[in-house]
Structures are given as C-alpha cells and as structure tokens.
Amino acid sequence: MGLLNHVLEFFSLETLDTRLFPPANAAKRQAVINSTRHSPLEDPETLRIVAHVLTNYAIGRYRNLSLGSSLLNDGFKGIISRWDVFFNFTLLRMISYNLDYLEKLYSPPASPKKEDDSKEEASSNILSFLDDRLRLTAPIPLADYNLINYFAYLTYTPLFIAGPIITFNDYIYQSNYYQLPSVKDYKRTLIYFARLVFCILVMEFLLHFMYVVAVSKTKAWDGDTPFQISMLGLFNLNIIWLKLLIPWRLFRFWSLLDGIDPPENMIRCMDNNYSAVAFWRAWHRSYNRWVVRYIYVPLGGSGKYRIIANLCVFSFVAVWHDIQLKLLMWGWMVVLFLLPEIGATMYFKPYQNEWWFRYACGLGAVCNIWMMMLANLFGFCLGKDGVIALLREMFSTVSGFEFFVLSLSALFVGSQVMFELRESEKRKGINVRC
C-alpha cells in the first residue's frame, strides 16, 4: 500500500480519498489540505516537471545507444516509437488538472448550502453559459476532480496528439455540463471544414510549384538578390505556418464534431502581424492561454516583475519543445526582442490621442517586423548562413540598400493597413488582442 501511495502521489493524486470520495464538508477538506502540505521539493507537480525534462534529455541523448542485443536495439518500440514527442501535450494536461484541482481544493466554499449542492443543482444554478475566459475558472464541483475524469481528459482522442490545448475546467464544463452553441451550429462547422480543405489545397499548390524548401535546405541561394532571398524566407515561413495550421485545425474540427470547442490556434495569417507580443499570442493561442493561466499570472503577470515573468515563460516554452541550448537561447532572444516593444508601449501610451501617434506606431511596427523576420529566418528557414548572406547583400551593395529602403516603406504602409483592419474589427465589437 505504501508503494501505491507513492505512485499516486507522483501523479499528483496527493490523497486518494479526496479524488474518489471528496470531503463532504469544509472541516474535512481543511483537514485534508493541512495533511497534504509539503515543501516545493516534495511537490508532485515539481517532481513531474523535473522528471519530464530529464526524460526528454535522456531520450534525445541516448536514443541510438546500443544495448548489446539486436532484440533490444531493433525490436518492437511500441505503436508510436517517438511517444515522447506527444507526451509534451500530455504533461500540459496533467499540470492543468492538478492545478485546477488544487485551486478548487484550497478555495474557501461560498456557503455550507452550496457545498452540499448536488451535481444537478450545480449544473442548473452555477454552470450556465460561460465565455472562453470564464471557462478557465469554471466553478466545477469538487466531485468532478476524480480519476475517471482525469484519465478521460488525458486521453481525449481528438486533441491527444497535438492539441489545441484545453484546460481541465473547460473540458469538464463542455463535456459534462454545457454544450456550447458553436458546436450545435452545423453550418459553421461545415464552413470550418471547407476552410480546412482550402488550406490543404494551398499547401499542395505551394509545395508543387514553389521549391523554396528545397532551396533553403540545400542553401542554393548563391547569386540571388536580397529581394529573392527575402522572398525565399517569406514563403518558407508561410509554409511552416500552413504546416502547423493544417493538423491543428484538423484535430479541432474532429473535436467540434465530438461536441467540444477548444481554443483556435493561429487566428491571424502569419503575414498580418506587426507586434511580437501579439504574434506570440495568436500563433499557438491555446498554448499561450495555458502558459498565461498557469505560469505568467502566478508569477505576477504584467505587473512589477513582467520581464522576469516573460523570461520564465519563454524558458519553459523552449524546454517544453526540446532540451536544446539553441532553443533556450531562442527563448531568451524573444524576451530581448520584446523589451523594446514593451518599453515603447509604456512610454508612448499617454500620447495615444495625438495625431502623430499612429505614425510613430508604424515606425515601431517596421522595426518589430524586421526583428521577427530575422529571428524566424535564423531559427526555422535560412539558418545562420542564409541570414548572413541576406544581410551582407543588403548592406554591401547599392541594389541591396535600395531594397532595404523600399522594404521599409512597404512595411510601413502594410503596418498602417494592419492598424486599420484592427480598428475595423473594434468598430464591429471584435477585439482578439492580437
């Protein structure tokens, strides 16, 4: 029984009684809370994150290690040999369940009457329609934080492989209490499917007629002008955007058919971004919402220690993707690129009603776009050699400098168009904050 308790504690089932038989009143629950207090080093959540980091490191370093036996080296490696890649998303779900449970467990009950409310009364009186933000902290009854819901959430098939990521509270709210109007609108779902098919056809067209991926992989850009190299990088970034968008929307479409509406990733086209903060918010939107809820806000959010919170967030994001120094450096570079935007936003905010404010924002947007392009070209498309070749051609030749000046003008005009698109959305009551 002692071994079983340790196993359950590792999966953050701190007290088995609280998961299978939640305390009937506040006094018993407080006794459970007091009995489960421990130091951070003994916290199962901390242990799980450390174990995940070490597991990823070991798998990446010793994947091809010879074990002295052909059966062990070349034998059956499971249905999915690279299961550790998908486990990254499972880890997020495990953390979401545990932190939502602890938040519910530690929160004081509203009243003894509500504490003893039945599940049906909670469903009718408390869990009415909630928007996407309120669903993150939906008032789920404590009885729903049990092993059955835990494993149902971890293994939810449509979102198991790559998301989009949905929190435990949101999942239970939609699956047990309230089906959102969006999943009942079959016309909307059919249009969503048609848009998915269109994106797949665009991807096929790009891969069939534009060989930018092959050119970037073989570094065959010798003799190209700065404009050609920049277009090579631009179409590479668009292909990467489509490559991620298609599976995310496929799995979300599957989830919509099943009656669960998870957050949408990539709610804007990649080319319709001028802010590094907003780009990160819109790119992997469900992951961003997860990180904000469980890491950014607990660390202080946009308050006094905003920079430290951002540094911790992007360090976690880099390590979550893979244990590589270049990814960690990428995360820290992103924070470095965010600093000018954050500082400029704070400094110029009092002048937002001035006539020149929008033009100043346009100049800042041009700088932001260039920094984001260079960072993504360096990390995902052209690599170090390609970026160096682009910068050398741009600033060492007359034609390259002409291209640089013209690109600044084009990006400035493009930023003004993007500003107006967002203003038009606000006039319609739409504000997606990206």
Between CA 282 and CA 290, with CA 288 as vertex, the angle to 5 degrees is 145
Buried-state track 109-132, b at ≥16 Cβ within 10 A, e below 16:
eeeeeeeebeeeebbeebbeebee
Contact 417, 364 (CB under 8 A): no
Contact partners, residue 340, CB within 8 Å, separation at least 6 = 364, 367, 368
First to last CA, the chain: 51
Question: Sign of the CA dihedral 385, 391, 396, 397?
Answer: positive
Please confirm, yes or no, whether 321 is among the known catalytic residues. yes
Interhelix angle 383-396/398-427, rounded to 10 degrees, is 110
DSSP conformational letter for 40:
G
Contact partners, residue 387, CB within 8 Å, separation at least 6 = 374, 377, 378
Alpha helices by DSSP H, 267-324: 276-283, 285-291, 306-321
Q: How far apart are CA 278 and CA 349, in angstroms?
A: 17
Look up tokens 């599940």; give the residue: 119
Between CA 117 and CA 123, with CA 119 as vertex, the angle to 5 degrees is 100
Alpha helices by DSSP H, 11-146: 16-20, 26-35, 44-62, 70-74, 83-106, 112-115, 119-125
Contact 282, 266 (CB under 8 A): yes
| Residues identified as active-site | 321
